[in-house]
A and B are shown apart, each in its own frame.
Chain A
Amino acid sequence: MSAGDDYDDRPSAVLVSGDQGGFAEWLHVRLVRARLGWAAPFVLWLVGRFSGKGMVIAIPYTFLFVFFLVPFLIVLKISFSETALAIPPYTDLVEILDDGFDYYLTFKLNLINYWTVLSEDTYVRAYLNSAKIAAISTALCLLIGFPMAYAMARASESIRPMLLMLVILPFWTSFLIRVYAWIVILKTEGGLLNTMLIALGIIPPDEPLRILSTEWAMYIGIVYSYLPFMVLPLYANLEKMDLSLLEAAADLGCRPTKAFWSITVPLAMPGVIAGCFLVFIPAVGEYVIPELMVGDNVRVIGRKLFTDFASERNWPLASAVSVILLAILVVPIVLFQRQQARLQEAGQ
């Protein structure tokens, strides 16, 4: 490594392009001091290649590649395999067969898992049920979230940060603890709600409300958990609305209620759409809330996926379930993306 030694006390012979000069020069000095002078040109080339804009883009892309695309490809691969009593519990897609005379490289794509999911009634029903639950929950969130966001956006400027804080505050507690808290509230025997209603004499003590373990409890849980995802984009949208538009509408002869429908609501649509997607997409795959609030007698696709994966140890089938779920969700996600892009083009 005599070349490295030569570099020691001489000015750098490596050409460094101007815009990343500072960092590259510093790095060069470090490399040379570390007696790795021979590597300096290569490292500098790498830094130059990926510095600045490239670096900024590379970080999220790397993240998505490693933590989203690669796991998805693994799941996709498993979905085409067969179950096996092995570790891991599925077969390889590519195998070398040896029949004693010849070697064969075999490549098997097993489609039975997809066929099972798409043809068996229980799966189709679970998908439809999940979509129905997600749709109803989204509608309820919108119904409750819009007035909330509207009131927040029209509240006096001094209390708006506090109201916003109150919406965000539940996130500081674990999601599971909040769902369990609802169980404590809704329990039939000695639940907070029933105790209170009985104490107030609204319902007789021997007829407590049966909410827990019914669909009601599930909707309360989902709506409660996802409401902030509806309120926040709606608030952001309504808050920046130019109120002089409503004055202009009134000035042109439009009554306040009509102005709400013909001005406020159309202008809030981007917020409504964003909020609906943010609630609908995770609600379709929701597993924990139905499981905790209702139990076994609710058929949602998330629960089906979990039992296939954990209890049945049928990883290929579970993988097919999740690939199909993703395919179903990709449609609204793409719609959402296109709408966002359109908004950006409009420059509003």
Chain B
Amino acid sequence: MNTATAARVPFEPWKDPQAKPYIRIVNVTKTFGDFVAVDNLSIDIYQREFFSLLGPSGCGKTTLLRMLAGFERPTSGRIELDGVDMSTVPPYERPVNMMFQSYALFPHMTVEENIAFGLRQDRVPKDERNARVEEMLGLVQLSKFAKRKPHQLSGGQRQRVALARSLVKKPKMLLLDEPLGALDKKLREQTQFELMNIQEQVGITFVIVTHDQEEAMTVSSRIAVMNHGRIAQVATPTEIYEFPNSRYVAEFIGDVNVFEGRLSEAAADHVRIAPVGGGGEIYVDRGTSAAQGATVWAAIRPEKIDVALTPPTDPSVNCIEGTVWDIGYLGNLTIYHVRLADGRKMTAAVANRTRLREQPITWDDTVYLTWAPDSAVVLVS
């Protein structure tokens, strides 16, 4: 993971004002009868990006993907690919390929014929066609299975055939609809990295639809979190996780503790929040757009909270007292569910760095939950 992430770090075209978006989704709306599937949505996607559309089912992510492929036409708005308006171009004329959730492999054709199908439609000469099919089979490590029919392959192999088939035409954009959804967990994790490597090798822009936030975090250059046909936030995985822009995003990605409070001090470089229901004040060492006195929410990730049996030196700031309600031992982490005085529950995740704690925390212990000034995120919506 480290090497793959490191290789992608300098790749941030969305920060470059000179960079031209490769795919522009401009004010796109799609309605089915009364139901608004995609609601006036705009996104710019840059060349060579691995872009994820993430959201719960029914958020419109698949509809958006199908509009990119050409299977649905936008009710209004337009979709540009490399400067060309694609809105009315039928799917069979788009320089875009899709990998289907069901893989949609042609059952009456061999692996080889499946991959060659797209090239045949373009009347690519036989020699070149064979060479490109061979190259793809090599890329997905299926050369030995070229003559098999799809039903003679395992799920993981079929997934790779589908990938090869959608890549062989060198599309300008590859769309992937829940590409790993049908694989089991181990294979899925392994395939995520394969997918990233292949994307780097072929240099094609990938747009992936997924409901699996871990998958989106792992593979994406940027993630668009969607909710009810709209974009909730578009950002890199790190930004989405560490700086969510709303409670919806914070709660959708990972676990989070959210406190409602009043902004008691709003300076440019720090804020103080007085939580509703009393308790210690929350100090955050970053400014916020909200005005003093406004209602805001402080979001703190469980792994950024420390659990201690003794109170810190200053228990009035970034500290909450509670009793241990439940303990979940996960091996690498221990999850503490702590009940606060007013009945609310808070979750803290503590890494198990040593084999055994010298002073174990157990059920019904009074504990002090503390966190650093840079741990909480102030959310205004």
Chain A residues with Cβ below 8 Å from B105 are 248
Contacts of B70 in A (CB 8 A): 250-251
Contact string against B for A residues 240-256, beta-carbon threshold 8 Å, 1 for contact and 0 otherwise:
00101101111111111
Provided the pairs A244-B102, A248-B100, A347-B151 are in contact, do residues A254 and B108 lie with their beta carbons within 8 angstroms? no
A244-B118 in contact (CB<8A): no
- Residue pair A266, B108 in contact (C-beta under 8 Å): yes
How near does chain A come to B28, taking the closest CB pair, in angstroms? Answer: 19
Chain A residues closer than 8 Å to B226, beta-carbon distance: none
Task: Report the separation of the CA atoms of residues A258 and B117 in the bound assembly, to the nearest whole angstrom.
Answer: 12
Closest beta carbon of chain B to A24's beta carbon, Å: 43
CB of A263 closer than 8 Å to a CB of B? yes
Across the two chains, which residue of chain A brings its CB closest to B118?
Answer: A252
**Cross-chain contact A254 with B117 (CB below 8 angstroms):** yes
Are A252's CB and B117's CB within 8 A? yes
Residue in A244, A253, A266, A347 whose CB lies within 8 Å of B92: A253
Complex formed: what's the CA distance from A346 to B122 in Å?
31
Docked CA distance A346–B107 (Å): 10
What is the chain A residue whose CB lies nearest that of B165?
Answer: A252
Q: What A residues does B166 contact at CB under 8 A?
A: 251-252
B92 to chain A, nearest CB (A): 5
Number of A residues whose C-beta is below 8 Å from B? 20
Determine whether the beta carbon of A242 is less than 8 Å from that of B102.
yes
Contacts A247-B71, A347-B151 given; indicate if A253 touches B122 (C-beta within 8 A). yes
Main secondary structure of the interface of A (DSSP, over half): helix
State the CA gap A265–B301 with chains docked (Å). 56
Contacts of A247 in B (CB 8 A): 69, 71, 91, 98, 100, 104
List, in ascending order, chain B residues with CB within 8 A of A252's CB. 92, 97, 117-118, 121, 165-166, 169
Given contacts A346-B151, A347-B151, contact A250 B106 (CB under 8 A): no
CB of B151 within 8 A of CB of A245, answer no
- The smallest C-beta distance from A117 to any residue of chain B, in angstroms, reads 42
Within 8 A of B (CB), among A247-306: 247-256, 258, 263, 266-267
CB contacts (< 8 Å) of A346 on chain B: these are 149, 151
Determine the distance from Cα of A248 to Cα of B118 in the docked complex, in whole angstroms.
Answer: 10
In Å, the complex CA distance between A253 and B89 comes to 12
Check B100 against A250 for contact (C-beta < 8 Å): no
Contact A249 B117 (CB under 8 A): yes
Which residue of chain A lies nearest to B171 when distances are taken between CB atoms in the complex?
A251
Binary CB contact string for chain B from 151 to 190 against chain A (1 if under 8 A, 0 otherwise): 1000000000000011001000000000000000000000
- 9 A-B pairs besides A245-B104, A346-B149 with CB distance below 8 A are A244-B104, A247-B98, A248-B98, A249-B117, A251-B69, A251-B70, A251-B97, A253-B93, A253-B118
What are the 4 closest A-B residue pairs judged by CB atoms, nearest first? A252-B118, A253-B121, A248-B104, A244-B104
Residues of chain A whose beta carbon lies under 8 Å from any beta carbon of chain B? 242, 244-245, 247-256, 258, 263, 266-267, 346-348
Sample (6) of A-B pairs whose CB atoms are under 8 Å apart: A247-B69, A252-B117, A252-B121, A254-B92, A254-B121, A258-B121
